Amino acid sequence: MSTIHLIRGDDTDIIVTLLLDDAPFDLSQITRLDLHAKAQGKIVIDLSTANGGIEIVGSEIVLHFDRALTAGKHWQQANYDLQAIIGTKVQTVLRGTIQMTADITEVQLE
């Protein structure tokens, strides 16, 4: 299990390296990645390679948490999993919690 720490309203990129037997997991066979996070039974974050929220860069996975996903939200903890579609199989490759800390300064971009 892995914990992701976010600050409400911030743009945050998290880089993930998956290991299999202490070697980098072969990402070349992955056709799609999806991450859903739920707080109080509702999906609060939906990232995917299909919507640009997840990128595969070489041997790393980049999770793009855009500020719009958390701005103005009041949940503090959500459970998530990251699932890979490899051919016709679905495999959960990572799971854990997202801890969100409230921001103090709220910046409005023009």
The domain limits of the chain are 2-101
| 108: CB partners within 8 A, 6+ apart | none
What is the pLDDT, as a whole number, of residue 105? 79
Q: What is the mean pLDDT of the chain?
A: 92
What is the pLDDT, as a whole number, of residue 109? 67
CB contact at 8 A, 64 and 54:
yes
pLDDT tens, position by position, 21-53: 888 888 998 999 999 999 999 999 999 999 999
In this structure, CATH architecture of domain 2-101? Sandwich (2.60)
